[in-house]
Amino acid sequence: MNDDIGFRHIHYSAWDIVKKEWITKEFHIIGEVTVFDMIKQYRIENFNDIAIIEGTGIKDSKGIEIYEGDIIKYSKIVKIVKWNDHRSGFYLYDKGEKLSRFPLHREEAKDFIIIIGNFFENKDLISG
């Protein structure tokens, strides 16, 4: 692989929608197949109850990777991070699904953005 191309390693996290908890076992995504190293814990028919969350590859001001669904604070503004298909990037939204005019940028994140929660556990943090 050529390092000059700039490939990034994509990180994922998983949320159990039914149990309302993060899945802490390691897993990998290969094509359209998710391989969980937790066969004893999850049966294949339960995979629809799991939300797979993609990392943005961008870290906040504390050095923590920002994931889709994270609730962030930028100055005094609170927004949620979501993927935008039309603009092919991660953008900030308010509770009313209103798209901000700015994408999530690496330079701004490392200096100004702090993760304060996530969509699954802290919906109440999103003002809208």
Tell me the C-alpha distance between 122 and 65, whole Å: 17
Number of structural domains found in the chain: 1
Interval 98-118: pLDDT, tens: 666 667 876 677 788 899 999
CATH code, 53: 2.30.30.290
H-type alpha helices, 51-127: 106-112
Domain range for 94 is 3-125
How many C-beta atoms surround the C-beta of residue 108 within 10 A?
A: 14
Interval 38-57: pLDDT, tens: 445 555 556 678 888 889 98
pLDDT of residue 43: 56
Quote the pTM value. 0.77
Burial 55-68 (b: 16+ CB within 10 A, else e): bbebbbbeeeebbb
